[in-house]
Amino acid sequence: MEYPLIEKIGHPDLFVGRKTEFRHINKWLSLIPDRMSKSRVILARRKSGKTVFIQRIFNQLWSDPKRGVIPFFFDIAENKAWYPDFAIDYYCAFVSQYISFLERNERLVTQPLDLEESREYGLTHSNERLVGDVDSLLKNKERGFHDSMWKTAGTGPHRVAALFDIRFLVILDEFQNITQYIYRDEKCEGKPDETLAGSFHSLSESKVAPMLVTGSYVGWLLQIIGKYLEAGRLKRMRLSPYLSEEDGLQAVYKYAEYWREAITNETALMINQLCQSDPFFISCVIQSEYPNKDLTQPDGVVEAVNYEISDRYSEMSDTWNEYLQLTLPRINDKYAKTLLLHLSKHAESYWTPKTIKQKLQIDLELDQIQEKLVTLSEADVIDRGVADIEFRGLQDGTLNLILRNRFEKEIDQFEPPSDLKLEFKAQIENLRAKNRQLRGLLNNLSGKMAEHQLATAFRSRKHLKC
């Protein structure tokens, strides 16, 4: 397979698991040539591997033209952009990736053509539609017709697919950013145009260029989709941040191999267990800058895991603190944090405003508690049940550890703060107790890793001595 789109994970071999997800998505992709696939949205919190997942989809489609689907990938970055410039960037990325697919030219994916180069390609290849689009963009920018520019750019994949009877997959990463970073003012001052997401309202129904949309802030993304695209237009697909136990263990071995970090079979099991088979958490521990880190010893694993959770400047903690700062701007009062911490610590069951008030003895009315719980659920840091008054903590152990570490010492009047390091050590003791049960899994993984290492050796040598 070829990798024209450079994947954020780094070396392609570091991509592990996701077999079930690819089975579902590949069936959906196989129906696009027959115009039977409905646009989708992938829902996953930050650092769940969704960007790498959709980048791998792009590379798989690009590498196999026989599948009959041309991928177009566009990351809506967290950078301010002037409306007409955004339209040109979008169109140039689309055209360049389209030409890249036709000409089998990887370079055009990462180094897109500008408008003049795109027009020249259209002229030399008798593509009147491409020439006409470029002329329209340039003329409308000169006239100040910026809405017309975006209409040309945004509808490009659908129009080209319909005209030439071909199929595109429009992959839009971090879709929620389109409401916050595109400005009609040339200096990008004032307020961004929050309505631009609505321009995809009809495009989301395209069967010749269906969309695959993602975002790192699920609650925010769903609000935008519900408001501007109508919720039913995009079929939802949830991507868990966690791998299976076997795939998680494989990730531990691969990450340790590529980052040249010494581990043992026993500590590999421990890292996977304490990191809950979360590939991002595993990578943070393997690359941890904890002083005198030693991942060949159980205590060394505990120290490294605890450091990533508790140290303010660790990669794990820093990443999640940034997420919380962006996600929780409206719940900085102490009661909201108390609610969040309580639900995170007791995520096994649903709670109502009444049961929470009884448990925590907080001086708030039930409707005030309900309002704060709704805000927390919209921020995507707690789950909401079928009933409007039911809420529970996220079924996300990694984020819950961060929440507990961040808020538990601040809010200790209801329950004494716990020692996460002691909990990690207890988990290791339990792991040792069921060591025999896991030995078979480890032996199976060891065989797979041996096969992987042998394959790597073959690829790295042009000639092998017999």
Residue pLDDT tens, the chain, 466 long: 899 999 999 899 999 999 999 999 999 999 999 999 999 999 887 788 899 999 999 999 999 999 999 999 999 999 999 999 999 999 999 999 999 999 999 999 999 999 999 999 999 999 999 999 999 999 999 999 999 999 999 999 999 999 999 999 999 999 999 999 999 999 999 999 999 999 999 999 999 999 999 988 777 788 888 889 875 688 989 888 889 988 999 999 999 999 999 998 888 988 998 888 999 999 999 998 888 899 998 888 888 888 888 777 888 878 777 777 766 655 556 677 788 878 887 888 899 999 999 988 888 899 989 988 887 887 777 888 888 889 998 776 677 677 766 666 555 544 544 555 566 556 556 655 555 555 565 566 565 555 555 455 445 444 334 3
DSSP-assigned beta bridge partners for residue 42? 214, 237
Q: How far apart are CA 36 and CA 265, in angstroms?
A: 47
Contact 205, 39 (CB under 8 A): yes
- Residue from 264, 294, 267, 247 nearest 22 by CA: 247
pLDDT at 431: 56
Cα torsion 435, 436, 437, 439 to 10°: value is 80
Cα torsion 352, 326, 224, 374 to 10°: value is 10
- Residue from 271, 226, 237, 266 nearest 251 by CA: 271
- Residue from 67, 85, 86 nearest 75 by CA: 86
Task: Using only the alpha carbons of the chain, give its radius of gyration.
Answer: 25
Q: How far apart are CA 54 and CA 343, in angstroms?
A: 32
Say what the pTM is: 0.83
Measured in whole angstroms, the distance separating CA 361 from the mean position of its chain's CA atoms is 38
DSSP H stretches of helix in 125-214: 128-143, 146-154, 156-164
Structure tokens at 215: 């975002």
pLDDT at 414: 45
Give the strand pairing for 382-384 and 182-183. unpaired
Within 10 angstroms of residue 239's Cβ, the number of other Cβ atoms is: 17
pLDDT at 464: 38
Q: How far apart are CA 405 and CA 417, in angstroms?
A: 9
Within the chain, what is the greatest distance between any pair of CA atoms? 79
DSSP H stretches of helix in 144-259: 146-154, 156-164, 218-224, 245-258
- Residue from 180, 112, 118, 102 nearest 152 by CA: 118
DSSP-assigned beta bridge partners for residue 279? none
Contact 262, 296 (CB under 8 A): yes
Contact 93, 76 (CB under 8 A): no
Structure tokens at 255: 């990450």
Burial of 14 (0-12, 13-18, 19+ CB in 10 A): middle
Q: How far apart are CA 29 and CA 309, in angstroms?
A: 38
pLDDT at 465: 40
Q: How far apart are CA 419 and CA 431, in angstroms?
A: 19
DSSP H stretches of helix in 226-381: 245-258, 265-274, 279-286, 298-310, 315-327, 334-345, 353-360, 366-378
Q: How far apart are CA 120 and CA 164, in angstroms?
A: 19
DSSP-assigned beta bridge partners for residue 75? 173
